Homo-oligomer: A and B are copies of this chain.
Amino acid sequence: MEKLFYFSDLFGVAVFSITGALMAGRKSMDLFGVLVIAVITALGGGTLRDAILDNHPVAWIRDDTYILVATLAAVGTVLWVRLTRPINETGLLVADAFGLAVFTVIGTEIALQHDTPVSAAVIMGVMTGVAGGVMRDVLCNEIPMIFQKEIYATACIAGSLVFIGLLELGVAAWIATCLSMATVLLARLAAIRWRLSLPRFHLLDRI
């Protein structure tokens, strides 16, 4: 179980690294830029969470497998695109949804281990899931995608709440983990499939 969690985490790192490398490529960055953006996308959310929670040492300092995986995923992405293989957008979105699910539950769990209140644990779950992508977008000088696209972070909130609720009800940790990850995954896949989005809040005409 512990091991499955670890490999899921590394899978999430790889997927997020790929999305970072692709965004950097869209901005015509050089190879170093691609690598940095990829690594920040993959590890930024967890690092921010750990700095705020005072949870030291952060994962990639404790265990250099994280940096290795993020780097390999970024280099692999560049090579893959260079060799003109097309990118399977759907596959990438599904993988991204899976990574999001893993990161959200891990973030929530680590926060609960630090005895945070529920609201802070949910924020930590969401932060772990989305902050890397926000950093990627800010560094690429874009308004972060999560604020403008279909349901994304809302899926994290739902998953995080399901996780906390099931634990409160006394459900075994591994069942709570699986069900809450499934919540994030299904919410995100449904959002992609039917282009679900939250209503927007327009102010332009009023202020």
Chain A contacts to B: CB under 8 angstroms: 21-22, 24-34, 36-37, 39, 47, 50-54, 56-58, 60-61, 63-64, 67-68, 78, 81, 87, 89, 114, 116-120, 123, 134, 138-144, 146-148, 151-154, 157, 197-204, 206-207
Verify B147–A61 contact, CB threshold 8 A. Answer: no
Alpha-carbon gap, A22 to B50, bound state (A):
30
Can you offer 23 A-B residue contacts whose CB atoms are under 8 A?
A22-B203, A22-B207, A24-B201, A25-B203, A28-B200, A28-B201, A30-B148, A30-B198, A30-B200, A33-B147, A33-B148, A34-B201, A36-B146, A51-B52, A52-B61, A60-B119, A61-B116, A61-B117, A64-B118, A68-B119, A81-B201, A134-B139, A141-B143
Report the minimal beta-carbon distance from A47 to chain B, rounded to whole angstroms: 6
The smallest C-beta distance from A136 to any residue of chain B, in angstroms, reads 12
